[in-house]
Amino acid sequence: MAEAIVTIDRPPSHDPSESAGPATRKSPLWVVVGALAAVLLFYVTGSLTRAALSNFVVVFSSLLLQAVPLVMMGAFVAAIIGTFVPASAFARLSRLPEPLQIPAAGLAGFAFPVCECGSVPVARRLVARGVIPSAAVTFMLAAPILNPIVIVSTSIAYRGRDIFWPMVLGRTGLGFVAAMIVGWVVGERDREGFLRVVATDDLSACGCRDDHAGCDCGDGHDCSHHETEPRWKSFFNYFAGDFAFMGRFLIFGASVAAALQTLVPQSVLGSVANTPVVSLFTMMALAFALSLCSESDAFVAASFVQFGVGPQLAFLVFGPMMDAKLAFLYNATFSKGFLRTVIGVVTLVTLLGTLWIEVLVG
Amino acid sequence: MNTTWSHNRLATGMALAIWAALFWFVIFADRTSFYFASRTTWLAPVGAVTLSLAMVGRFLSSRATHPEPLSRRQLRTLAVLVAPAILIMAVPPVTLGSFAVSRRSTAIKGAYVSMTGEDLTKGDLSLLDIFGLSYVGELDKLAPRAGSTSSFTGFVTREAGEGTGEFRLNRFMISCCPGDAVNIQLRIVGAPPGQFGQDDWVRVTGDIYPIGDGVIVDASQVEPVKRPEHPYLNSS
């Protein structure tokens, strides 16, 4: 196993992913195990047919082809943040009171239209550059719901319906609140070690094993010896490194989502459509399984007319913050426990919020 | 300062090259309609350009003062990374079919409204028009057209208990990609018995009858057609 070198005292401009912690080395193994599990599941359920495999390939390839450009766009922005935005800018932001930083980060989603796949590398880079984790996480979760493209697509999906306003305002408001609450909960954590450490021999790591203490980071990260490289080289190291880092987790997430879409018929949902609370959990689970882009999920949610306002809203609020793809990206990017926190808090807030709106709307 | 080639960076550059090649391939082989909806087609060139840019940058920065070695583990990870790209390029494009119909929600009523303010009591009638009217509960607007002739293209599925001259005509509608596809379905009666199997693409011409929350087509002609170049309908 590769050595993960421990560094605790780092200037804020340095990537906390370089700090202490066990190196993440299991990703390729996970992919293989996941693929085998998917095949086994197909076999056990009698779904291992040519038609099922075709279905899997169609969904898997389309989810992946849609997500990769969005990740690259996020990686591009993240590389700009990492290379060209001075650390002092983030230090100034960090001096703002936390109660101001969290809502400001959430509202930044209005101005920065990224969907969920693109917001993860940006949040990662923001934390690496010294932004407090709570603000970065709030932005990461809020941007896919609050951005103008998503608001417009939700409006189009529900236009002409009597639940238009509850859906559009409910999604935006509840998404904003849920993102802030997760940010606030995460804010209790230490910035050092918030990002998961990258293994010395990870593809995105430099692994140069020189005498720069603590240099176990990604090769685009802020290692001191890389500071001697021209900026354009650092930029491309960030840019390519994020693809190498995120790509494999995206592949695994897309394969899980495709397997779930292939194995689980949506008709099973109809039986719980009128069961309070259960229908909310069902739609959250569906959002997790489908792993749709937040810019298109409203059209799918609106097609589940057998479900009321609450479950449809639960689908639209939960999905952009937590789905199969994101679970792997979060787990690879952030420290142990983050995924659990996001699942717990987002589920609770979505549940309570949608119940409240359902009662309100009647 | 002495620089040497970093095998790690060269290998990552190769992975980026394969992914960039996939996106260029999708564009130039005219396969975008298999993976993207009309409103997300822009993602294909964005993917091609950003991946190409990252690849070029990666190669240009492959000489380093501290070159990174390339371990076996990194090679395995790269293999995982490039395998889907090669797979997608290698296999012929497939589309959602009857299997997906059994797995997905059918848009008896759904989210897509193609209402453009046009008078639907005359002129061509599309699957999207029917869906849009069904969605807003205004199928009765088609009442004046009951018995009028229209044509629709889709693929065949059969349900248990249906007569030999009956089948369902299906077409998937996508918003971003086939991952979010919703099925539009018409019931076809009066078709030549036993001629068309599951997943066969056909063009049905017949008289339409809006009944309840669906539309029945009494077919006067059913002809086999090739899968359309744009197999999915788009919501906008």
**DSSP three-state, residue A58:** helix
Q: Do A266 and B107 touch (CB under 8 A)?
A: no
Angle between helices A309-318 and A338-361 in degrees, nearest 10: 150
DSSP state of A195: B
Which band of pLDDT confidence, cut at 50, 70 and 90, is reported for residue B50? very high
**CA atoms of A172 and A32, how far apart (whole Å):** 38
Residue pair A108/A143 in contact by the 8 Å Cβ criterion: yes
Give the model's pLDDT for residue A350.
95
Nearest residue to A78 via CA among A121, A35, A108: A121
pLDDT at B67 over 80: no
Q: ∠A227-A232-A235 over CA atoms, to 5°? A: 80
- Put simply, whether B195 touches A (Cβ < 8 Å) is no
- Residue B121 has a pLDDT of 62
**pLDDT at position B207, please?**
92
CA distances from A46 to A40, A43, A53, A265, B74 (A): 10, 5, 12, 14, 35
Is B82 an 8 Å CB contact of chain A?
Answer: no
User: Domain ranges in chain B?
Assistant: 4-90, 98-234
Contact B164, A242 (CB under 8 A): no
pLDDT of B88: 93
Facing residue for B176 by CB, picked from A235, A236, A295: A295
Most A CBs within 10 Å, among B82, B105, B141, B233, to test the A interface: B105
A65:B44 CB<8 A = yes
User: With contact defined as beta carbons under 8 Å apart, do A10 and A221 qualify?
Assistant: no
pLDDT tens track, chain A, 362 positions:
333 332 223 333 333 333 333 344 455 566 666 667 766 766 676 667 888 889 999 999 998 898 898 888 888 888 888 788 777 777 777 777 877 888 888 888 787 767 777 888 888 888 888 788 898 999 999 999 998 888 887 887 787 777 889 999 999 999 999 999 999 888 767 667 788 776 655 555 443 433 333 333 433 444 544 556 788 888 888 888 888 888 888 888 788 888 878 887 777 777 777 788 899 999 999 899 888 888 778 877 876 777 889 999 999 999 999 998 899 889 888 887 889 999 999 999 999 999 999 888 86
pLDDT at A208: 40
The whole-angstrom separation of Cα B218 and Cα B205 is 8
Helices B43-60 and B7-28: crossing angle in degrees, nearest 10, is 150
pLDDT for the residue numbered A4: 34
Give ∠ CA B211-B217-B222 in degrees, rounded to 5.
Answer: 170
pLDDT digits (tens, 9 = 90+) for B158-177: 888 888 889 999 999 887 78
What class does CATH assign to B98-234? mainly beta
